[in-house]
Structure 1
Amino acid sequence: MKVTFLGGVGTVTGSKTLIESDGIRILVDCGLFQGLKNLRELNWESLPVLPKTIDFVLLTHGHLDHCGWLPCLVAQGFEGKIFCTPATRDITKLILLDSAKIQEEEAERANKERFSKHEVARPLYTVEEAEAVFPLIHSIQEEVAIPLDPEISALFFRAGHILGACSIQLTLEGKTLVFSGDIGRDHDDLMLAPIRPKKADFVFLESTYGNRIHPVEVVKEILAEVVNSTFEKGGTVLIPSFAVERAQVLMYLLWQLKEENRIPNIPYILDTPMGMSVLHLFKNYPKAHKLPLHECEAMSHMFQIISNYKETIATIYDTRPKVVIAASGMLTGGRILSYLERYLERPETSIVLVGYQAEGTRGRKLLEGAKELKMFGKYIPVEATVYEIEGLSAHADQTGLLQWLNEIQWPPQNLFLVHGENQAADALRLKIQETYGWTVHIPHLGSSLTI
């Protein structure tokens, strides 16, 4: 058996792990690279194996960094089956369509305004290419093993993190391989706690927050303080957010604050149509989360939902104080950039970062104190106040990751740390070795191992 790390190592993006066994090829996740330019350029490269020779793709969940390269895989010849939970299937369709649409719009704008270094800017993939993925997606039932081959089976079990997210237990050649995917928190506001694996010969564990402990923050208090102080200055609160799960948590917390009369009666806006679509999925999958239906309905009525770009423009030029939630969460694209283009250089603006900011992204640059950001071919000064709320992360921290391992009945032969930047992965490596005494490795991009 051969395992090759094609993405999601040394970085939190581009997750792809290839398993080859007895002529069968399985790809666990098929994510898009984001952030640093040298990583983004990998999206345009072909895989070291022909996509047509891959038999199965197993998706842990529907975030872009885990499913966003599927249109490229299919366009390059993949004809196999994509397995995931029903909620992941629905979210993946939304994510891919949104990604393709944004890429088409950005390529069109780059060509119109001539800020691309290429003679003709083109999207990585189109809406039509995204839609070509859909017939290949097959939904499975959680905690029920599915045969991929007479000698190979896969079992999906809840990971928390976002709606439908799972870890995957792959059984082949008498070995058990466990892929964590992204692990959620035990006490998330909306998501159920992750299920912990009981056995594993080899573990492939995410390490996004491997070097950090989430602070004990009273998130609602911080949100209330930011909204009220910005309102007093006559400013706008911009909250870049992933449209899946984080946007819904933000809506829920702001709705609670409004119900408690702790924030002002100003416009509260969700400018991510996909975020509203995901809210409908919460209604479709009530057993997959903690949010009661009546509260889901109530918080939806509080927000103005923007469905087209004309409404976005009207909102941007609305001078009233307001709170806007818009994608993308790391400022790598999406409608949040249109807001930043106008509001970033205003000192009365507040920007609230609520999720992990990968290396090389605009969000990371803001956290590191950047004085200007490049958008649409120009540099915009940063005069807004930037806040970070770590308590809203959808990822387990170092403690949570260690606890996720504590029910494994015997020491794995090896544990590989993936989906983390190098410092985070190395800190977690040391902590796992100290806590459990297990063998831990941090793979490199493109590296392989034989089991």
Structure 2
Amino acid sequence: MGIPKIEFLGAAGTVTGSRFLLSCDDTKVLVDAGMFQGLKELRLKNWNPFPIDPQQIDAVILTHAHLDHCGYIPKLVKDGFEGKIYLTEFTGKLAEVVLLDSARIQTEDAKYAAKKGFSKHNPPKALYEEPHAAKAVQQFSVQPFRTRIQVAEQTFVTFFPSGHILGASFVEVEFFGKRLLFTGDMGRQEHPLLVTPDKIPSGHFDAVITESTYGDREHAPTTTVFETAINETIDRGGSVLIPAFAVDRTEVILVQLRQLMETGKIRRVPIYADSPMALKALSFYRKAIDEDSEEIRDEIVRDWADKDPFDPGTLVELLTVEESKSINEPPQPCIIISASGMATGGRVVHHLRNMLPNPKHTVVLVGYQAIGTRGRRLIEGETEVKMHGEMVPVRAQIEQIKSFSVHADSEELIAWLKTASEQPGQVLVVHGEAGAAETFSDRIKSELGWKSHAPIDGEAVTL
């Protein structure tokens, strides 16, 4: 028998493109298959040939439905992957929405680039199209939490709730006699809707592969900056634009806005949820609450049995492009929540183009902004940003609110790792920007006394 190994084909030295290939002899299993986002040099990696023929992959294990973990799956399918994609119920529901939306946006962007002539491809092309995403969905194999299943030769998988987004899991993988733990994206203790992450299963793990998105920092405590920014903007006759990830972040923001309006802390104005994907995701969160899903906090089910926790009475859900365009010049101050969360694509780009030049408006960034994204450039104070091939001046107020993160920070990650009953053989630190992963790896070594390493892109580690 060969020696099992893991190859880091993404999310090593960066927070995007999670792709971890387990191989032993002829067996090959991929944990996550995410898209690279952010810097152009990273995005271009999506176009590189996959290191092995996708037909050779026996199975894909998906931790959750965010694009940087699942967005590359249709490309694998397009190139010949025909195996099953193992995931939980709500990861399946959300990933279907995310992947079909990703395919649609890529196709639309390619058409727009061809029309405007600002792409280097001739003709501009999409990485994959909707038929590839639809085929990928047909390969989903939905699994319950905490149930051990076989996915390939000498390969067994168990999903555990991670509290990051609906359906999100950390995953135990038994691979040719080696016991591995993949955190995926680890959630926090106080998600407003989801239960706290499960503790680490007992026993010895040969390797723990942990994310480190916030591995070099702690989340700022909740402040009043969010409500202050909203009230000051409304008082000067402006509107607030919140670029938000369609899956989970929009739901978290809506819960917070409802609470702030009901307690009188912010003005009661229209809230426009302007993302078809976010609205589909919202319907799954409502379904999970209605069905008393094990992922939902008991108090949410109990306290909101007869009410919608996402709507303070002013929520307007915009489904069509025409409805979206209707708020380009809103007749009164309002709050607009629109995807994508890093302002890289989707309807929010059109709202930014319209609102950024006007100093009465405010853009509130509530999620992680990867290097190279439009959101990151706004945070860093750039006076103009490029959109659809032209430069747009930035005169609107820009605010970043860090307390909405649903990623565990360094303290929370360490506390969760301490729930292990035994010291693992090694810890491999991924899914952090260069510096964050190394810092967190050093902290694991110094505080826990564990063997730890932050792999580089393309590195292979024997197990």
Give TM class, smaller chain: over 0.9
Map Cα deviations across residues 358-398 of structure 1 (whole Å, 9 max, x no partner): 11111111111111111100111111111111110010000
Change (3 A) 1:175 1:89: same
Q: For residue 123 of structure 1, what is the aligned residue in structure 2?
A: 126
1:205 to 210, 215, 221: 210
- Structure 2 matches for 1:39-54, cutoff 5 A? 39-54=42-57
Range that drifts further, 277-286 or 136-145: 277-286
What corresponds to 2:417 in structure 1? 405
Aligned to 1:320: 332
| Structure 1 unaligned spans of 5+ | none
CA contact (8 A) 1:27 1:57 kept: yes
| Counterpart position of 1:444 | 456
* CA drift at 1:326: 0.2
Q: C-alpha distance in 2, partners of 1:155/1:217? A: 34
Question: What TM-score do the two structures reach when normalised by structure 1?
Answer: 0.97
* 2:258 counterpart letter in structure 1: W
1:174 to partner: Cα distance: 2.3
Match of 2:389 in 1: 377
Structure 1 residue runs of 4+, over 3 Å off? 291-295
Given that residues 269 and 314 in structure 2 are in contact (C-alpha distance below 8 angstroms), is that contact kept between their aligned partners in structure 1? no
Alignment check: 8 A CA contact 2:163 2:186 kept: yes
Look up the SS of the partner of 2:110 in the other structure: helix
1:31 match: 34
Offset, 1:225: 1.2
Matched, 1:392 2:397: no
Counterparts in 2 of 1:350 and 1:56: CA distance versus 1, 3 Å: same
Q: Which moved more, 1:224-233 or 1:323-332?
A: 224-233
Cα offset, 1:192, TM superposition: 1.2
Q: Distance in 1 between matches of 2:7 and 2:310?
A: 47
The range that moved more, 436-445 or 115-124, is 115-124
Structure 2 CA distance for aligned equivalents of residues 110 and 353 of structure 1: 27
1:150, distance to aligned residue in structure 2 (A):
5.5
Note the C-alpha offset of 1:224: 1.9
Distance 2:184 2:16 in 1: 12
**Distance across 1 between alignment mates of 2:286 and 2:331:** 34
Partner of 1:235: 238
- 1:268 lines up with 2:265 in the alignment: no
TM-superposed CA distance for 1:297, in Å, is: 5.8
Rounded to whole Å, the distance in 2 between the matches of 1:156 and 1:388 is 33
1:254 positional shift: 0.8
Decide which of 164, 172, 176 is 2:175's aligned counterpart.
172
- Tell which deviates more after alignment, 221-230 or 10-19: 221-230
Moved more, 262-271 or 62-71: 262-271
CA contact (8 A) 1:6 1:446 kept: yes
Tell me by how many angstroms 1:167 deviates. 0.5
Aligned with 2:327: secondary structure? helix
2 CA distance for matches of 1:319 and 1:284? 33
Paired residue type of 2:70: C
Cα distance in 2 for residues equivalent to 1:323 and 1:13: 29
Are the equivalent residues in 2 in contact too, given 1:147–1:154 (CA < 8 A)?
Answer: yes
Give the AA of the match of 1:124: L
Letter matched to residue 37 of structure 1: K
State the TM-score, normalized to the length of structure 2. Answer: 0.94
CA offsets 1:268-319 (integer angstroms, 9 cap, x no match): 1000111111121113223222333434366175311110111111111224
For 1:346 and 1:358, how far apart are their aligned partners in 2? 25
The amino acid that maps onto 1:393 is: S
Q: Give the alignment of 1:42-441 within 5 angstroms.
A: 42-149=45-152, 151-197=154-200, 198-199=202-203, 200-218=205-223, 221-286=224-289, 287=293, 288-290=295-297, 291-292=300-301, 293-296=305-308, 299=311, 301-441=313-453
Aligned residues: 449
Q: Provide the C-alpha distance between the structure 1 equivalents of 2:379 and 2:133, rounded to a whole number of angstroms.
A: 32
Equivalent AA in structure 1 for residue 126 of structure 2:
P
Whether the 8 Å CA contact 1:255–1:302 is kept in 2: the answer is no
Shift of 1:172: 2.4
Cα pair 2:255 2:310 within 8 Å, conserved:
no
User: 1:410 Cα shift?
Assistant: 2.0
